[in-house]
Structure 1
C-alpha cells in the first residue's frame, strides 16, 4: 500500500512540475531570448534630378546618362534633362560647322 501511495505522490509531483514548467516557460525564456533591435526609420532622401545646365557643363556624363536611360537603368527627369543638353550641344556643334567656325 505504501508503494501505491508513493507512486501516486510521484506522479502528482511530476504532473505539477511539468504543468508549472509549461506555464512558466514564457516568463523564464523571454528575458534570455535575443531581442531584435531595429534602427529607427530614417526619412527617405530623394535627390532632385540634375538639371539641363548641369548636363550642359558635363556632356560626357550627359551622354552616359542618356545611354543608361535607353537601357532602362536610369529613369525620370534626369533622362529628359540629359537628352536635352546633348541635343542642344550637338545642334550648336552642327551650326558652328555649318558656319565654318
Structure 2
C-alpha cells in the first residue's frame, strides 16, 4: 500500500515538473533581446515631475521652482519635491556647521 502511494506521488511530481517546463514560455514572457536592451533610454518628457534627488543635486533650480510656486507660475508635484529638497539641503548644511565637518 505504501509503495502505491509513493508511486502516485512520484508520477504526480514528474507530470507537474514536465508541465511546468512546457508551460514556462507561456507563463513567463521571453527576455528582451540584446539589441533592445542596449537601446538608448527615452528621455523624460517635460511634464514629468522631477524628484527630490534631482533637486538635491540642482539646489539652485529647486529654489527657483519654489519661488515660482509661491508666485503661482509653477504648479504640481514639483513644488513639494523641490521644497523637500531645500529642507534636506538646509538641514545637511546646518548639520555640517554644527559638527564642524
Q: TM (normalized to structure 2)?
A: 0.54
Distance 1:99 1:68, change over 3 A: same
Residue 57 (structure 2) pairs with residue 70 (structure 1):
no
Secondary structure (helix, strand or coil) at the match of 1:88 reads helix
2:23 corresponds to = none
Looking at structure 2, the residues matched to 47 and 66 of structure 1 have their Cα atoms a distance apart, in angstroms, of: 17
In the alignment, which residue of structure 1 is the partner of 2:49?
Answer: 49
1:1-101 to structure 2, matched below 5 A, reads 47-101=47-101
Q: CA deviation at 1:64?
A: 0.4
Larger Rg, first or second structure (1 or 2) = 1
Q: CA RMSD in A?
A: 1.4
Deviation by residue 1:70-93 (Cα, 9 ceiling, x = unmatched): 111001100000000010000000
Moved over 2 A (4+): none
Q: By how many angstroms is 1:100 displaced?
A: 1.1
Q: Which runs of 5+ in 1 are unaligned?
A: 1-44
- For structure 2, which runs of at least 5 residues remain unmatched after alignment? 1-44
Question: How many residues matched?
Answer: 57
